[in-house]
Amino acid sequence: MLIVYDSLTGNVERFIKKLGDVRSIKIEDGLIVDEKFILITYTIGFGEVPPTVEDFLWDNHKNLIGVAASGNKIWGDNFTKSSEIISKEWNVPIIHRFELSGTKKDVEYFLQEVKRIDEQYSRMD
């Protein structure tokens, strides 16, 4: 399963590195993904989706099958709010919400969910 991500402060990128041998690609201008993927993002401002992620999703949402987000709990109700917005807008499940670059438990849970979703989509093919 492909993981597509964006990282502003490096927290999401550090989380990606903790995942080990997982196929991943960072969002860049003009990126087109022609396969199913899970998105990991961060939240900006007061619970907003980063513009780079919004732009990417307009071109790639048809292959989005889940979203996860990093955040900081000091933001209260806006903690990982971007994942809620993306989930509602593109009708995909929230895979996981984790603080900063995540803990070992966050990594294990995320990988377990990715495996479950990958198996689910494999049976559909």
Q: Rounded to two decimals, what is the model's pTM?
A: 0.92
pLDDT band at 123 (very low <50, low <70, confident <90, very high): confident
CATH code at position 79: 3.40.50.360
Please give the distance of CA 38 from its chain centroid, rounded to a whole number: 6
Query: Chain-wide mean pLDDT for the chain?
Result: 92
pLDDT tens, position by position, 27-37: 999 999 999 99
pLDDT score at 99: 87
Structural domain range at position 57: 2-124
Instruction: Report, as an integer, the average pLDDT of 55-61.
Output: 97
3-state SS, 35-59, equals: CCEEEEECCECCCECCHHHHHHHHH
pLDDT at 125 over 70: no
Structural domain total, the chain:
1
**CB contact at 8 A, 92 and 68:** no
